Amino acid sequence: MHPTSRREFLKSSTTALAGAGALSFLAHLPRVSADDAQLDPKLVRLNAEIEPLVRVLEDTPREKLLEAVAEKIRKGLSYRELLAALLLAGVRNIQPRPHVGFKFHAVLVINSAHLASLNAPDTERWLPIFWALDQFKSSQAATAKESGWRMAPVDDSKVPPPHKARAAFAEAMDKWDEGAADVAVAGLARAVGAHEAFEIFARYGARDFRDIGHKAIYVANSFRTLQCIGWQNAEPVLRSLAYALLMMDDKNKNPAQNDLAADRPWRRNAELAASVRAEWLDGKVDDASAKELFLALRTGNDEDCTKLARDMLNKGVAPRSISDAVLCAAGELLMRLPGIATLHSLTMSNALHYAYDACANDQTRLLLLLQNVSVVPLFRGVAGNKLAAIKLDELEPAPLQGADAAPAEIFADVSKDKLMASRKTLTFLKEHSDAKELIDAARVLTFLKGNDSHDYKFSSAVLEDYRRLSPGWREKYLAASMFYLRGAGAKDSDLVKRTRAAFKA
């Protein structure tokens, strides 16, 4: 194959894989300031510089919003400003209840859309964000219809002073006390910086197995977006986050006062962590141990698997080998039963891996690692007894019909025969030292064909985690992901056509 540039490949892939024409109608444009607007005193007040733009997103009808934003972009609105307004509009207008999912995906998916934008050429960077804008309007309407909920101002008279904020927040979260947590988290946002706050929230996001991983996903995604838009926007985001993390299955059964199934893995793992050697980070990568844990995760329960991981760490196995096993076991689970439930074993693992990498406290990192080992057996329990007999470690490569158009051939098979696409992916990765062409093709198809929050959440997670795995494991992982990535035969998103028209208007 002759080497091609990223831009040349994307141009050819868009035509070969999707037939949707070039995406050159999207352009990177400079900043613009927004007009002043009045604010309802019953709503939480945002940063004065971003408030007017947030109001535009809130007040413009869904059928007119893309066109209105496109016009502002022409006048200089920046990508960062739009991203900030989108997140803040989401947390102010969409209630993360009764589940941290469903309509709240409009908030959860913002960072996934942002990651897709970061990895896109400049000319295509607006498309994922425009998709997220439309998702926001849909969920805003659903919340208004269901409950009319909007985030109210915090009671400043009850916000603890900076020197008491950390303790007050920990006490409220440990007691699952929503009212106390809301004022305490406001004090925390004003008292600490982003890194310290993330260390605190990472534990609370991972501590229970409610809402199939959405709590951990919200922690990771909200902090990642705040890194881009600035910590000055943190307070309403952290209030929404704390509220989401305190979702319990039954308000009459406070997890602080009951032994509930969703909380047991974290409590057991906290006990296990105390028996791990102090030098656990100094272990060596060991493929044999990774394979042993991978096989255990196929059939074992979460308690036995985490004990096995503990023993491996004590024998000097590197955390990376633990992660190799977990991610590939999650990928195999998706292959055995493709769907919403099993894909969250991958997106939750992505969130926990991000938190593991971002935290500085070794004890927190160890807890996150052990909790991630629990994920696959727990999701296997959610999936039930309908799992196919596919075994990722026994997957054999299949020949490619045309090497020069391998990505197009693979993604055509994704729409017809996902198992064959997976096998051909193994062949492609065996013949190419870099998966860049295949990953670029997957992103293009997500842009053009994605019509659900999970398309962006899943693709952003797996295409990022591919780089985290050790050689020999990453190839299997990417092959497994073909069971949920978008194929070339899928229908083009209607939103692409509308976005194109908005920019041409």
Q: What residue spans define the domains of the chain?
A: 24-146, 156-245, 278-383, 395-494
pLDDT, residue 123, reads: 67
Is-contact 92 46, C-beta < 8 A?
yes
φ, ψ for residue 317, nearest 5 deg: -80, 135
Alpha-carbon distance of 114 to 83, in angstroms, equals 8
pLDDT, residue 6, reads: 43
Tally of helices (H runs) and strands (E runs) in the chain: 24, 0
Residues 6+ apart with CB under 8 A from 163: 191
pLDDT, residue 319, reads: 98
3-state percent helix, strand, coil for the chain, nearest multiple of 5: 70, 0, 30
pLDDT in tens, the chain (505 residues): 334 444 443 444 444 444 434 344 444 333 323 232 233 566 776 878 899 999 999 999 999 999 999 999 999 999 999 999 999 999 999 999 888 878 999 999 999 999 888 887 776 778 889 999 999 999 999 999 999 999 999 999 999 999 999 999 999 999 999 999 999 999 999 999 999 999 999 999 999 999 999 999 999 999 999 999 999 999 999 999 999 999 998 888 999 999 999 999 999 999 999 999 999 999 999 999 999 999 999 999 999 999 999 999 999 999 999 999 999 999 999 999 999 989 999 999 999 999 999 999 999 999 999 999 999 999 998 887 789 999 999 999 999 987 677 999 999 999 999 999 999 999 999 998 889 999 999 998 998 898 889 999 999 999 999 999 999 999 999 999 999 999 999 988 888 888 878 877 6
CATH class as words, domain 395-494: mainly alpha
pLDDT, residue 40, reads: 56
Q: Which helix (H) or strand (E) holds 130?
A: helix 126-146
pLDDT, residue 4, reads: 41
pLDDT, residue 498, reads: 83
